[in-house]
């Protein structure tokens, strides 16, 4: 689903945040969903950041949820966080040790639109529906 990387380093605040989304197969792929290995993401480059919050995760996602970029060690600097997700693909018991499963809203507050995107008034001024907080 995602492949992030940040060559600027850990101090640069960039990455992917999926909040209140649905990760499910298209109707055309429903029959094949379990034959194709699907993951929430893999670290494309060093310092990848991907956070998934309050999202429905379908059974197309493998139980381990995340995978390494083949031949690379980018997972060692990656920041992958899951919080309060639901659905058959949201079970976190088989996630790799380099994935954080947040236990409280305070742990992911940094990644809400209001905090991650910065001043969000431009989104509202464009009349785009937006949820600023959790």
DSSP sequence for 4-51: E--TT-TTS---EEEES-EE---GGGGGGTTTS-B-SEEESSTT-EEE
- Give this prediction's pTM: 0.90
Q: Tens-of-pLDDT digits for all 134 residues of the chain?
A: 999 988 888 878 889 999 999 999 888 888 888 888 999 999 999 999 999 999 999 999 999 999 998 888 999 999 999 999 999 999 999 999 999 999 999 999 999 988 888 777 888 889 988 888 89
Number of independent structural domains in the chain: 1
In a domain, 19, yes or no: yes
Q: Is residue 130 part of a domain?
A: no
For residue 31, the model assigns a pLDDT of: 83
- Model pLDDT, residue 8: 83
Task: Give me the CATH number covering residue 107.
Answer: 2.160.20.10
The pLDDT of residue 71 = 80
Structural domain of 75? 2-125
Residue 68 lies in a domain: yes
Residues 56/22, Cβ–Cβ less than 8 Å: yes
Q: Quick check: is 52 in a domain? A: yes
């Amino acid at each position: 689903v995602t492949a992030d990387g940040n060559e600027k380093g850990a101090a640069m605040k960039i990455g992917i945040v999926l909040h209140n989304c649905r990760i499910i197969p298209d109707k055309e792929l429903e029959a094949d969903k379990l034959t194709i290995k699907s993951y929430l993401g893999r670290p494309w480059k060093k310092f990848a950041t991907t956070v998934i919050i309050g999202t429905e995760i379908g059974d197309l996602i493998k139980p381990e949820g995340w995978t390494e970029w083949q031949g690379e060690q980018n997972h060692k600097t990656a920041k992958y966080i899951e919080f309060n997700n639901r659905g058959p693909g949201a079970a976190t018991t088989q996630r790799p040790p380099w994935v954080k499963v947040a236990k409280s809203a305070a742990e992911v507050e940094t990644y809400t639109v209001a905090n991650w995107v910065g001043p969000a008034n431009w989104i509202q001024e464009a009349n785009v529906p937006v949820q600023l907080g959790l």
